[in-house]
Structure 1
Amino acid sequence: MILQGFKENSNKKYLNKLLSKRQVNVTSSKVESLGVILNVDEFENLDVFRDLADLIHVHHNKLKVVVFSESKKEALLSWVECFNPKDFGWNGTVTNVELQSFLNEDFDMLLSYYQEDILELKLITAASKSKFKVGVLQADERLNDLIIKTDSKEFDVFSKELTKYLTILNKI
């Protein structure tokens, strides 16, 4: 139990290190690839992200979704990668190969669709090599470039606001 606390502290230090090194460089380049980090314990409808990809003109082969679940729901997760707290080691190391390949991918936009303050979700958001990061309101505002303040259950409101701001920023 004590080791778990030390592991969590080392991961928090790593997260703070990532966020302090982060340089925001928002350009007007178009969004052609989309990565989604989702807490499936908060929001279960995965098909809406395909609809969102269509709305912002991202091909389905350029959409990649990874979901976090503390209680794995295997039947729900047929077309996405799933990760949980056991996929993380000390100092922010990722032991899941699929999750590591997600982190290595350079998405044009990363969508962090979660509100709960879970360290592993924040680590994945911070470690992503995405050029532009968008999320719903979270405890740590340093994670995202654009924050849309909606409840995670109100995806249609989030989708409308996202397309509005992406249009303003000349990204779609």
Structure 2
Amino acid sequence: MEDHKNPIKTVGLLVDESYFLNTNPLIKEIVSNGIAETDIKVIVYRDVLKKNESYSYTVFGLKDFNFKGVTELQSINEFISDEFDLLINYYDVEKPVLLLLTSKSKAKFKVGFSSIDKRLNHLTISCNTGNHKVFTHELFRYLKILNKI
């Protein structure tokens, strides 16, 4: 965390849709707390990707990575190299590919669930992914305390 003074404007949202399919309501909650929707970049992990299904966000799966954890997908590489003010790791089950993206992310401040390895996030919130309203309420309560918003 280099710069404590700059308020949060840009948000990266890494979601595991294997268990949580409410990405749009989650984004609405974040927007209702003062973050512009245009400043939120979303990337979604799915255990199973259907060939003919169209997705509203950049979607990736395990097959998009080689055995060394490297991907050729430009959208994923751009996401991890973006220096977001805030990265929200919206997954509560540890999957190697999600942990890899979180650890490689250049985001300035990372937030996730308390069930995930504590070394990956600056702030963890105790609830499960089904409670996106509780998560965002707690997240923005702490961001205010930390003078991030």
TM-score (norm 2): 0.91
Gaps of 5+ in 2: none
* CA RMSD, 1 decimal: 1.9
**2:54 & 2:122 partners in 1: Cα distance?**
28
Does structure 1 residue 39 correspond to structure 2 residue 16? yes
Are the aligned partners of 2:26 and 2:133 in contact in 1 as well (CA < 8 Å)? no
Q: Which moved more, 1:58-67 or 1:26-35?
A: 26-35
* 1:74-113 equivalent positions in 2, closer than 5 A: 78-113=55-90
Check if 1:120 corresponds to 2:97. yes
- Relative to 1, partners in 2 of residues 1:27 and 1:73: Cα closer, same or farther, differing over 3 Å? farther
Deviation at 1:134? 0.3
Rounded to whole Å, the distance in 1 between the matches of 2:52 and 2:127 is 28
Quick one: which amino acid aligns to residue 151 of structure 1?
N
Q: Is the 8 A contact 2:86 2:107 kept in 1?
A: yes
Between Structure 1 and Structure 2, the one with more helix by share is 1
SS at match of 1:167: helix
Give the letter aligned to residue 84 of structure 2.
F
Does the aligned pair in 2 maintain the 1:88–1:95 contact within 8 Å? yes
Q: Give 1 or 2 for the bigger CA radius of gyration.
A: 1
1:139 positional shift = 3.5
* Partner Cα distance (2:49, 2:123) in 1: 29
1:52 CA displacement: 2.8
1:171 is the counterpart of 2:130? no
Structure 2 matches for 1:15-30, cutoff 5 A? Answer: 24-25=1-2, 27-30=4-7
1:162 aligns with 2:145: no
Contact 1:37–1:65 (Cα < 8 Å) also in 2: yes
Aligned twin of 1:9: none
1:59 corresponds in structure 2 to: 36
Q: What is the alpha-carbon distance in structure 1 between the residues aligned to residue 50 and residue 130 of structure 2?
A: 19
- Which amino acid letter does the alignment assign opposite residue 169 of structure 1? L
Aligned match of 1:50 in 6, 24, 27? 27
Look up the equivalent residue of 1:35 and give its one-letter code: G
Normalising by the residue count of structure 1, what TM-score does the alignment of the two structures yield?
Answer: 0.79
